Amino acid sequence: MEKVTNALGTVIPDIASDILQIIFGVISLFLSAFVYIYIPGNPVPITLQVFSVLMIASIFSERNGLLATFSYLLIGGIGLPIFAGATGGLSHLFGPTGGYLIGFLVAVYIIPRFRKHKGIFLSLSAGLLSIYFLGWAQLSFFLHMNFSKAFSLGILPFIIYDFIKLLTVYFIAKRKRGF
């Protein structure tokens, strides 16, 4: 397909392709929220959302990744049941586990920027750490627990699962984008 350019020679983005990519990103986040496991005594579920976030940040354009993730958070924030456990509403963004959701947006912002200078593996790691940090901080704040307890509930049980997700995205992104 031929690229369309303006009078200055700048390529005009294919808006239909961008819209489809954003919709696909929202659907990916939505569907990955429905693959969840609650750990007894832990308010934070294991989901496939981290995989979707890392994948979106790795293969989408920066703008489309941010728009897809923001749209997902907006749709869930206004109450549509698209978060883990078929839930929605602002209480999920501004409650104990909301830091993880907000961390998704931060990760999608950070990963493409780090990727340019640090490579795909380190950029994915930085994105995952941003999700962990924001989730850990908000969990600690809202549940009035010390940072150690919040770490043992909100990060420790997920490290192995999320590292497997990170490695999977790493290999897919390397193959797809040639990093």
Given a cut of 70, whether residue 85 has pLDDT beyond it is: yes
Cβ 72 vs Cβ 82: under 8 Å: yes
User: Mean pLDDT throughout 126-144?
Assistant: 97
Cα atoms found within 13 Å of the Cα of residue 42, Cβ hemisphere only: 19
C-alpha to C-alpha distance for 27 and 47, rounded to whole angstroms: 15
- How far is it, in rounded angstroms, from Cα 98 to Cα 86? 15
| pLDDT above 60 for 179 | no
* Candidates 2.170.150.20, 1.10.1760.20, 3.40.190.10, 1.50.10.20; CATH matching 56-172: 1.10.1760.20
Nearest in space to 19 (alpha carbons), one of 61, 76, 81? 61
Residue extents of the structural domains in the chain: 56-172
Q: How confident is the model at residue 64 (pLDDT cuts 50, 70, 90)?
A: very high
Q: Tell me the per-residue pLDDT of 139-169, one tens digit each, with 9 for 90 and over.
A: 999 999 999 999 999 999 999 999 999 999 9
Average pLDDT over residues 109-117: 91
Tell me what the pLDDT averaged over the chain comes to: 91
Label residue 22 by pLDDT band (50, 70, 90): very high
The answer to whether 110 and 127 have CB atoms below 8 angstroms apart is yes
